[in-house]
Amino acid sequence: MKKNQIISIIIGALILAGLVGGFSYQLGQKSVGVAYETSLPNVLESKVIQRWSGLAAGRIIEISGRNVTLSSGEETIDISIREDAPVYRVVLVKGETETPAPAAREEVEFEDVKVGDRVNVSCLLKTDAPLEGIAVTILP
């Protein structure tokens, strides 16, 4: 009789362990997954970062004084060019084929920039002012 009681207790314990394991598995399947959220500070509104630099590329569609309007695809942007901003023109090398040579550029005046020119404008992005062009490169 003792042997039957021990076997019954062991079988009961195994059944109980199986029920607890199955129940735990079911709860685990229904639990909400953890969503990891990366929170980046809004650096454009930060008081620590005073200005960023960037590159605007496109075709000039309007020039008004030292302000240029660039267009690329469907978008346009106005950039105010500094008085002391250098203006460069990329020079093509004549040879078998016309290809831009590395660092082959000549400095020209702002007045040489025309509507329709493709340009790259190095800009400063400030939190309290519009885009400010600090260098202009006229592309071939």
Q: What is the pLDDT of residues 95-107, one digit of tens each?
A: 655 555 555 789 9
Q: Looking at the domain 43-138, which fold is it?
A: OB fold (Dihydrolipoamide Acetyltransferase, E2P) (2.40.50)
Structural domain spans, the chain: 43-138
Query: Bridge partners of 103?
Result: none
* Model pTM score: 0.60
- Looking at residue 43, what is its pLDDT? 62
Compute the distance between CA of residue 70 and CA of residue 66 in angstroms, rounded to an integer: 13
pLDDT at residue 125 is higher than 90 = no
Whole-number percent of the chain with pLDDT over 90? 41
Determine the average pLDDT of the residues in 36-58.
Answer: 74
- Looking at residue 48, what is its pLDDT? 73
pLDDT at residue 93 is higher than 60 = yes
* Cα 102 to Cα 14, 23, 90, 99, 135, distances in angstroms: 78, 69, 10, 9, 18
